A and B are shown apart, each in its own frame.
Chain A
Amino acid sequence: MKNSGRFGQFGGFYVPEVLIPALEEMENAFYKFYKDEKFTSELDVLYKDYAGRPTPLYYATRFSELVGFKVYIKREDLLHGGAHKVNNCLGQGLLAKYMGKTKLIAETGAGQHGLATSMIGALFGMQTKIFMGAIDVDRQSVNVHKMRLCGAEVISVKGGTETLKDAINEALRYWTANVADTFYLFGTACGPHPYPVIVKHFQSCIGIEARRQCLEKIGKLPDIVTACVGGGSNAIGIFSAFVQDKNVKLVGVEPAGKGIETGKHAAPLNAGKVGILHGTKMYLMQNKEGQILDTESISAGLDYPGVGPEHCYLKDINRAQYVAVKDEDVLNIFDIFTKCEGILPALESSHSLAWVYSQKGKLPVDTTVVVNLSGRGDKDVDIVERNSK
């Protein structure tokens, strides 16, 4: 490997030997192409014409009135596929194409990354397999259907907790046996190096656009930028453009599930310990011995015991703050925000909206907050319905 993939003590590539050549090949290809003129112009066209970039920065008038300060929404929910995941999938998919790979595999939790990978598999004519925990297959059946319509094979992963963690385990096992022709299109800024670097790079368009749009629309940088954090790809995508702007506060919002104190959550930055899983050193939900704990969140996309290594680092150096909100507050804000703005936020993104709502009356009226609305909530309508009864 060219780089150690470290963010302070976090990150690295703790994987079985058999995967090292594949990660090296990927790192080589990434550094070869990511600034290459042909690659970047091809990706720019895809971002614009296929995905629908740039996404608007929308001033949420009624929601702002409700909370008592200015809230701007980065509309990643408007992207093709319904979430920010397409940014990364187009980038990695194009990389796979440049590397001459013909098969894609991916893990998925909420199904958004699986769907985005399936779309890109169809777009590039690549055979696509999606690994998804059996519980997630059940709770996100609409996305499963869409993936199959795109021509992907969806593999329901049984055993373990049957959620995102187990989907990653199984995808890694499959990759181990098929490293030669298969590209593992990893969905979040986590996992072994070089994934945290690659995923951040392809998601950084969110932050670059948002920063420019703030300067154009508001005439200054925002006071706060907030995003939900599961693995952390949408958050690192928007944070990355503001990290050097010391006056911009960065707030990542983790899922507190039933409540941090109950242990039924998925908030490693708030209640985890440093450990190693899925190839990276990160804050991790685990017992005293290091066995990984079951997680719980109403949003499948955040239901993961670990978190991207760069977020761990940003927390430790106090550059970003990481808070957590409960399922009940997430359901509440889903309803409030939808009625306010006529926009259905994904349950994942609703976490950051719930944190913003919790600041109601606590921030000065001229405070500007940018919320990364990473995905749309159409996929969650059934879950919301089931939980509101």
Chain B
Amino acid sequence: MRTYKETFAQLNHPALIPFFVIGDPDFDTSLEIVKAAIDGGADILELGIAFSDPIADGPTIQKADIRALNAGITVEKAKDFIAKVKAYKDIPIGLLMYYNLIFQYGAEKFFADFAKAGTNSVLIADLSIDDVDEIYTPARKAGLDTVFMVTPNTETERAKKIAEKCTGFIYTVSLLGVTGGRDTLSDMIKPLISKLKSITDVPVCVGFGVSKPEHAVELAKAGADGVIIGSRIVKIIEDNLNNKVLIAKEVTKFIKEFKTALS
């Protein structure tokens, strides 16, 4: 199974990491969309399992969660989804989700089952480094990499502690706020990338508000090892719900624009 390490080592540009909610707008369409993102040149996938109360997400991803839940997504089905993506292409997959779903499944079993399905890492939006002990050992035991978030208001000492616990990459939040498309990049992100680069060798991937190819180029120049595009790409689904066939095409096109800009 392809690792983050191999992926980052082989790329000569920042990794292109689109985010999708699994099963949005329905299981089959969602699978086609993710395949289209792979075809467009995604280097890593960030996938979410829908939760009823996503407190770290803005309106676009909230709506995607609701679409996926209404279409019947479950944790079990999400596991099958990952296996199907892996069967299409061996691409690293990071999960991004909320803690209660893992807690109810049982952390140890969750990590083991999802590692087996082809997951590389699980980032829990509402579990901070302070509670790392609840998940670190079972995740590592299952063979998963670990990923935690650093935000612009994280103090340096704390950022060091977080970096020490990240074996995959550091999910670097570009701004203070929830997920969502933004016209311009926050001015907090460049200093944050520099700070992280000065304290760790773990790859720094930037998400939240990354919406345009220009943003990705700016982040590449600032030293980012990966760019995560979430809400802006999920919005393509929202905007084309009446024409599901078009979504996959639009997603491929959108990813290619980023790829071209970064290459």
Chain A contact residues, CB within 8 Å of chain B: 1, 12-18, 20-21, 159-160, 165-166, 169, 172-173, 176-180, 273, 275-279, 284, 286, 288-292
Q: In the complex the two chains form, is A292's CB within 8 Å of B176's CB?
A: no
In angstroms, Cα B69 to Cα A12, docked, is: 28
In angstroms, Cα B238 to Cα A27, docked, is: 40
Q: Render B167-183 as a binary contact track against A, CB cut-off 8 A, 1 for contact.
A: 00000010111100000
Q: In the complex the two chains form, is B130's CB within 8 Å of A176's CB?
A: no
The 6 closest A-B pairs by CB, nearest first: A177-B177, A290-B104, A18-B151, A290-B100, A17-B149, A291-B52
Stretch at the interface among B8-16, B20-28, B53-61: B53-61
Q: In the complex the two chains form, is A179's CB within 8 Å of B149's CB?
A: no
Most chain B beta-carbon contacts within 10 A, residue among A17, A277, A291: A17
Q: Render B148-172 as a binary contact track against A, CB cut-off 8 A, 1 for contact.
A: 1111011100100010000000000
User: With A13-B128, A17-B148 known to touch, is A275 a contact of B55 (CB < 8 Å)?
Assistant: no
In angstroms, Cα B153 to Cα A178, docked, is: 12
Q: How many A-B residue pairs have CB under 8 A?
A: 107
**The one of B53, B153, B178 that contacts A292, using a Cβ cutoff of 8 Å:** B53
User: With A276-B99, A291-B69 known to touch, is A18 a contact of B173 (CB < 8 Å)?
Assistant: yes
B258 CB to closest chain A CB (Å) equals 25
Q: For B153, give the chain A residue with the smallest CB separation.
A: A21
Q: In the complex the two chains form, is B104's CB within 8 Å of A176's CB?
A: no
**The one of A14, A16, A172, A286 that contacts B149, using a Cβ cutoff of 8 Å:** A16
A278 CB to closest chain B CB (Å) equals 7
A282 CB to closest chain B CB (Å) equals 11
**B125 an interface residue at 8 Å Cβ cutoff?**
yes
In angstroms, Cα B98 to Cα A278, docked, is: 11
Q: In the complex the two chains form, is A21's CB within 8 Å of B100's CB?
A: no
**B75 an interface residue at 8 Å Cβ cutoff?**
yes
Main secondary structure of the interface of A (DSSP, over half): mixed
Q: Which residues of B contact A178 (CB under 8 A)?
A: 176
**The one of A14, A290, A291 that contacts B131, using a Cβ cutoff of 8 Å:** A14
Q: In the complex the two chains form, is B148's CB within 8 Å of A277's CB?
A: no
Q: In the complex the two chains form, is A21's CB within 8 Å of B155's CB?
A: yes
Q: In the complex the two chains form, is B128's CB within 8 Å of A286's CB?
A: no
Q: In the complex the two chains form, is B51's CB within 8 Å of A291's CB?
A: yes
Q: In the complex the two chains form, is B52's CB within 8 Å of A292's CB?
A: yes
Q: In the complex the two chains form, is B150's CB within 8 Å of A16's CB?
A: no
Q: Which residues of A contact B153 (CB under 8 A)?
A: 18, 21, 179
Q: Which residues of B contact A279 (CB under 8 A)?
A: 126
A279 CB to closest chain B CB (Å) equals 7
In angstroms, Cα B128 to Cα A178, docked, is: 19
Q: In the complex the two chains form, is B178's CB within 8 Å of A17's CB?
A: no
**The one of A17, A275, A289 that contacts B128, using a Cβ cutoff of 8 Å:** A17
**B62 an interface residue at 8 Å Cβ cutoff?**
yes
Q: For B150, give the chain A residue with the smallest CB separation.
A: A17
B21 CB to closest chain A CB (Å) equals 14
Sample of 8 more A-B contacts, CB < 8 Å, known A179-B176, A289-B101: A16-B125, A18-B177, A20-B154, A21-B154, A169-B55, A173-B178, A176-B176, A276-B98
**B105 an interface residue at 8 Å Cβ cutoff?**
yes
Q: In the complex the two chains form, is A275's CB within 8 Å of B149's CB?
A: no
**The one of B75, B127, B129, B178 that contacts A289, using a Cβ cutoff of 8 Å:** B75
Q: For B54, give the chain A residue with the smallest CB separation.
A: A169
User: With A18-B153, A289-B104 known to touch, is A172 a contact of B148 (CB < 8 Å)?
Assistant: no
**B103 an interface residue at 8 Å Cβ cutoff?**
yes
User: With A275-B100, A276-B103, A276-B126 known to touch, is A17 a contact of B151 (CB < 8 Å)?
Assistant: yes
Q: In the complex the two chains form, is B125's CB within 8 Å of A276's CB?
A: no
In angstroms, Cα B176 to Cα A204, docked, is: 34
In angstroms, Cα B58 to Cα A290, docked, is: 21
